[in-house]
Amino acid sequence: MKTCVRIFCIFMILLAGTFGVAKAQNLSLKTNGLMLGAGLPNVGMELVTGSRTSLEFSAFGAYKPYTLDIKMFGLQPEFKFWLSGRALTREYVGVTLLGVTYDMKIKNKSYKGDAAGLGLTVGYSIPLNARCNIEFSAGVGGYLFRQVRHSVNDNENDYIEQGYDIINSKGFKLLPSKLAVSISYILK
């Protein structure tokens, strides 16, 4: 978890560094309303990289939302190709990566592990004014996961060896990679 946070901070610093360099490119700040509603605070930045392309990098996390015993942190970069011909406007298709680390207890089961995967996304962005957009997007992808899975009544120490978790569950799942109603604000 700490490693992920470290990586995220470094990336954000690098991204902020491009702020001064990307003079002619739009940079926007965004957040996914659906994730917020689900108790997952999130923030993202999107940089226009070409006349029809943009790169988005977002991060999300959760710490016991709605009294649920769920902790997670994820990063999701996404590359978008805007079919309309103009970035941050109308329809696009994209490729996204997702990396998440989680520790949650659901229905007397404990799940603790990491997942990563690749997905495809589609979306539609509506310009509300010169700086604001509302974006609807969805995607699906395949994810590899590895986790420690046990009953909540079990002794957790039984699943730790030499300070490392004993992975007893791995797999591949097809899951939604994205479901978003985002509001973005173009900073420049």
- CA distances for 56 relative to 5, 41, 164, angstroms: 18, 17, 33
Under rule CB under 8 A, residue 3 binds another protein: no
Q: Whole-number minimum distance, CB 92 to another protein, in Å?
A: 12
- Reading the block at residue 174, the tokens are 């097809």
Q: What 3-state class would DSSP assign to 48?
A: strand
Binding segment for another protein among 8-16, 43-51, 61-69, 116-124 (CB under 8 A)? 43-51
Q: Which of 119, 93, 111 is nearest to 174 (CA)?
A: 119
Under rule CB under 8 A, residue 79 binds another protein: no
Q: Whole-number minimum distance, CB 51 to another protein, in Å?
A: 5
Under rule CB under 8 A, residue 115 binds another protein: no
Which of 7, 29, 50, 171 binds another protein (CB under 8 A)? It is 50
Which of 4, 25, 77, 105 binds another protein (CB under 8 A)? It is 25
Under rule CB under 8 A, residue 19 binds another protein: no
Q: Whole-number minimum distance, CB 135 to another protein, in Å?
A: 13
Buried b or exposed e, range 82-109, using 16+ CB within 10 angstroms: beeeebbeeebebbbbbbbbbbbeeeee
Closer of 2 and 23 to another protein (Cβ): 23
Under rule CB under 8 A, residue 45 binds another protein: no
CA 143, CA 85: separation in Å to the nearest integer? 31
Q: What 3-state class would DSSP assign to 8?
A: helix
* Residues contributing to the site for another protein (CB under 8 A): 24-26, 48-51, 84-90, 127, 129-130, 186
